[in-house]
């Protein structure tokens, strides 16, 4: 069983994917972490996230340990991740890892759930279950603000909203594998739903497909 979950930042994909994984005994891969780890390594080495050759080399040399690095969830790393993810060489370097994970999920599980931006369109186009989880930019910015403040980070709503819109624009307009809804994905707008309601709706869809 493969479940593909795509959508913009802070739409609730991660929470939903983790719950799906637990519910169906699936391995979970947060593919955003691959781009975040690449972006962070570029920044840590004093590089520019838009430097095509540098970022591609970093992606090609990424190790499993890099996915466990501290500080992958910061806003700066999120922006760097969004920048490196627009580089075709970076995407190519990270694609096989994601496909291998889906084909042979670790840990004696029944399959895999992957979340990201291009899982249903590029990484696993044959996945039997595809969800596109979204919410208005304002609602997503509120959620991200709460998360940042909860972690003790300093943040203000206007800045978080602005960053969110900038990242949405870059992720949707890039030429290689932009954020878009797969033709056979179920669209789930969580703007007016809490996590519980969103999960219930998603579960109903998954069950109808399996």
- H or E element at residue 92: helix 88-103
Stretch of 62-70, 74-82, 103-111, 145-153 lying at the interface with ligand DC (CB under 6 A): 74-82
Rounded to a whole number of angstroms, the minimum distance from the CB of residue 153 to ligand DC is 15
Cβ proximity of 42 and 51 under 8 Å: yes
The least CB distance from residue 108 to ligand DC, in Å, is: 25
Region at 5 (left for phi over 0; alpha for psi -120 to 50; beta for the rest): beta
- Distance, CA of 160 to CA of 158 (rounded, Å): 6
Q: Does 9 bind ligand DC (CB under 6 A)?
A: yes
């203000």: which residue's tokens? 156
Nearer to ligand DC, 113 or 208 (CB): 113
Q: What kind and span of H or E run contains 102? A: helix 88-103
**Rounded least distance, CB 90 to ligand DC, Å:** 9
Q: Around Cβ 114, how many Cβ atoms within 10 Å? A: 27
Single out the residue of 161, 145, 142, 165 nearest to residue 153, CA to CA.
Answer: 145
The CA R_g of the chain, rounded to the nearest whole Å, is 16
Q: Is 32 in the site for ligand DC (CB under 6 A)?
A: yes
Residue 31 interacting with ligand DC (CB under 6 A): yes
Please state, in angstroms and rounded to a whole number, the distance separating the CA atoms of residues 48 and 170: 16
Positions in 169-188 near ligand DC (CB under 6 A): 171
- Indicate the residue among 82 and 190 with the shorter CB distance to ligand DC: 82
Does 101 help bind ligand DC (rule: CB under 6 A)?
A: no
* Contacts of ligand DC in 108-167 (CB under 6 A): 116-118, 167
Task: For the CB of residue 129, give the shortest distance to ligand DC in the complex, in Å.
Answer: 17
Q: Give the interface with ligand DC as residue ranges (CB under 6 A).
A: 9, 31-32, 35-36, 78, 81-82, 85, 116-118, 167, 171
């Amino acid at each position: 069983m493969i479940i593909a979950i795509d959508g913009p930042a802070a739409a609730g994909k991660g929470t939903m994917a983790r719950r799906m994984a637990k519910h169906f005994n699936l391995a979970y891969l947060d593919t955003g972490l691959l781009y975040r780890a690449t972006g962070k390594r570029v920044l840590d080495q004093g590089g520019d996230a838009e430097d095509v050759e540098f970022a591609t080399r970093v992606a090609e040399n990424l190790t499993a340990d890099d996915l466990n690095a501290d500080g992958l969830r910061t806003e700066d790393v999120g922006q760097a991740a969004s920048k490196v993810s627009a580089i075709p060489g970076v995407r190519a370097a990270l694609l096989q890892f994601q496909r291998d994970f889906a084909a042979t999920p670790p840990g004696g599980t029944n399959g895999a759930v992957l979340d990201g931006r291009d899982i249903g369109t590029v990484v696993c186009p044959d996945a039997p279950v595809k969800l596109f989880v979204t919410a208005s930019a304002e609602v997503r910015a509120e959620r991200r603000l709460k998360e940042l403040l909860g972690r003790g980070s300093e943040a203000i709503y206007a800045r978080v909203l602005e960053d969110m819109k900038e990242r949405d624009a870059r992720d949707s307009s890039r030429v290689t594998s932009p954020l878009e809804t797969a033709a056979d994905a179920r669209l789930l707008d969580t703007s007016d739903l809490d996590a519980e309601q969103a999960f219930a709706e998603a579960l109903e869809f998954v069950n109808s497909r399996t």
